[in-house]
Structure 1
């Protein structure tokens, strides 16, 4: 297992990999945030930003969607729609009223009965402005908080917060206008729209779309800069290149190559664990609790402190792939159908796929990605069994199951700890490792009081 951090690992490598998770929660194709960074950084260079400004712009672009998981459940509640599809389609809505109405009609209550769709559509047409204000404010506020938790400057935090402000004052959440809007926000929104349309269609279509919004959504000076960089061969070749991630890293200011020490690494991992848990009210605090339980179980099993530190990090990110699962499934109060269950089962593989992009997580990616495997071979995603499942994975699995049972779920209330332990004991040797379970029974008596909402046996 990896037990040290490469002292020269650039911050950009870590953040670029984790943006894959942000792409998923927005329903965007892979590397959307990275392509936005490519577009935005070229605009920044074109208008002559300083090295420090480019540094802040770089992370504003990568973190523009950091708060997007926080409004997913509310979108499903208000629009009765799949949040991932809703968010993906919303990014293509034009500036006209007819475009907005068409979006509502197509997306409100999608998949529901006609009566439900009609009533939902009427509600949205009546209250849509207030709903949009609420959803954007939630996302922008949380995104700015994440930027601060990650120790970026207040300029980055404000850049993320004001992503949806428009040049003419028609945006949200504060209806800022012209130079009131942070420069990084103005660049990030333009880059976002440009990427959505160029990826879906082509660069020419993106240029037409951006130019049509000049003076409305976008700062005309930035539109001119985008038009200029779009004529550069290197920009066009890199935009959809297979090695776009490396190209963006090469484009990053020298400051971005600052090293990530142990303490800062933990800060970043914790922040992304919170992003995952923000997606559903039923997962609030889940990753943090699983990490605490994991650490206590590992300690009882005599695992060395430095290994425990890395295992705790894997536990914090074990559900990263859930950002790619719709809240219509995650928060469903009824039994999942076969299609929904298959969608849920993809989250473990998605977690592994993302973590494999981070060099210090090469070994831990498989540990975190296997937390739903079962000793009897009936788990997922690879149907591993017996000795194919490492002790480290078994520890996270035990912690995850314990929290899943003791926490409230859409279809039931929280289950007391004594009953939870009884349920878990019935699954020894099939889903749960006996050594880990015995360690858990000892460990729960060491938990801080705020973790013990149920009576300890």
Structure 2
């Protein structure tokens, strides 16, 4: 690939996937970025600091998928709704208790719900600390993998710390907390309450938490910014995404070299696969199986590299699916099945927003289509499915069959191949199945 890409364009589109995982309205991270950069400017930050702040705000939720399954397990709840509503808490005991009782095990049996609530009441502090620690540490690791500065990584690590020491996971106090984190936490609360109750609700929350959750100096800077009605008008605009892209400090343009795009795809594959213990490593394995098939079918090395990115990102839409659906041990009901099927459409929508990844979007959106037109989401038929899509579709199903799932154990390779061949010509391209079979046989011979 030649040419250049805007780093902000890539991160802005990927941040929409993070918004879904946090149960937030589309554009949450973008709006937080707008809020936080205005505060940073009011505090007199130079361009270098503003640039790191800008990326930290877009990436603040990088680790958010890593605790989704645990939330479902502990609270017997839909993680997307749980996370959305959790952001409205101020930390007071009565509010927390009401939240736990109203959000724990709403769809579970009374006995299961009772045991879950008792566990949370006894061990709530430790549970929340572990959930936040997992999220923050994973997010910081992924930020480093995406080549961002240690300042950006530290901002993600400290996101849930509070000025008075009452935050998580470490309980840092005052200026020991990254300044970027102090700004990001305020920006997050502003957006959550602005979206649910408007400017007055947002200002009330920020003012009431000054000196406890928030650095008073950050609140002071925000109050100065918020006094301008144009600030709130901009925050509510439909084109806020373009506004934030134009806001990028220095208008930095990153060269779209192959290694950089590979790093981004691999980093986000970690975010995707962290969503469920049953999909851990799935994207990486689909990339490996796709590459084995492509090699057998004579793909060039450059095209195989492109296909690997498509395989790594094909399931990015699953970040918008609740773990109560992804990890359900039994058969999905009609509504759950609609939610599961929607992940392919979400994958295409997210990737189509990135110029450098737009050609991957069609493949990601069609990886559950079938040759006979009985797939989803659009019921495409054989003449509408290119070879790239057929390869990833075959690799995806093969990995699903040979990996542990909540509803069954992993299958032996021979049984999985048998199932693929049973659907040859209807579900999957027999040429792709044959290529996978040859590649696996060659791999076994090489090891023997």
Q: TM-score, normalized by length of structure 2?
A: 0.97
**Aligned match of 1:98:** 94
Q: How large is the RMSD of aligned CA atoms in angstroms?
A: 1.6
Show CA shifts across 1:342-374 (max 9, x none). Answer: 110000000000011001222221111100001
Choose which of 132, 145, 149 in structure 2 pairs with 1:153: 149
Unaligned ranges ≥5, structure 1: none
- Cα deviation for residue 448 of structure 1 reads 8.8
Counterpart secondary structure, 1:368: helix
The reply on whether 1:6 has 2:15 as its aligned counterpart is no
Identify the residue that residue 169 of structure 1 maps to in structure 2.
165
5+ long unaligned stretches in structure 2: none
Q: Which residue of 2 aligns with 1:309?
A: 305
Report the counterpart of residue 346 of structure 1 in structure 2. 342
Report deviation, 1:318.
0.3
Partners of 2:74 and 2:386 in 1: CA distance? 43
CA distance in 2, matches of 1:301, 1:221: 61
Corresponding pairs, count:
448
| Alignment partner, residue 410 of structure 1 | 406
Q: 399, 423, 431: which is aligned to 1:435?
A: 431
Please name the residue that 1:45 is paired with: 41
How far the C-alpha of 1:419 sits from its partner, in A, is 1.1
Aligned counterpart, 1:373: 369
Contact kept, 8 Å, 1:165 with 1:176, in 2: the verdict is yes
Q: Say which SS state the counterpart of residue 430 (structure 1) adopts.
A: coil
Is the 8 Å Cα contact of residues 11 and 260 (structure 1) preserved in structure 2?
Answer: no
Q: Distance in 1 between matches of 2:445 and 2:59?
A: 35
Counterpart selection for 1:24 from 14, 20, 27 = 20
Conservation of the 8 A alpha-carbon contact between 1:374 and 1:432: yes
Distance, in Å, in 1 between the alignment partners of 2:445 and 2:30 is 42
Instruction: Tell me the residue number matched to 1:70.
Output: 66
The answer to whether the 8 A contact 1:6-1:360 is kept is no
Q: Is the 8 A contact 1:5 1:360 kept in 2?
A: no
* 1:177 shift after superposition: 0.3
CA distance in 1, matches of 2:358, 2:49: 33
Q: How does 1:61-140 map to 2 (within 5 A)?
A: 61-140=57-136
Q: Deviation of residue 5 (structure 1)? A: 4.4
CA deviations on 1:265-313 (whole Å, 9 max, x unpaired) are 1101110011000111111111011111112211211223322221211
For 1:287 and 1:38, the matched residues in 2 are separated by: 32
Match of 2:315 in 1: 319
Provide the secondary structure at the position in 2 that maps to 1:258: strand
1:74-105 deviations in Å (ceiling 9; x for gaps): 11111111111110010001232111111111
Partner of 2:184: 188
How far the C-alpha of 1:330 sits from its partner, in A, is 0.8
Q: Do structure 1's residue 279 and structure 2's residue 260 form an aligned pair?
A: no
- The alpha-carbon distance between structure 1 residues 361 and 110, as it changes in their structure 2 partners (threshold 3 A), is same
CA distance in 1, matches of 2:266, 2:130: 26
Q: Residues 54-65 of structure 1 correspond to what in structure 2 (within 5 A)?
A: 54-65=50-61
- Give the CA deviation at 1:446: 4.8
1 CA distance for matches of 2:38 and 2:256? Answer: 26
Residue 242 of structure 1 is matched in structure 2 by 238
* TM value normalised by structure 1: 0.95
- Give the CA deviation at 1:339: 1.4
Q: Distance in 2 between matches of 1:208 and 1:91?
A: 15
Shift of 1:245: 1.2
Residue-by-residue CA offset, 1:215-260 (whole Å, 9 max, x unaligned): 0000011111111111224422221212111111111111633333
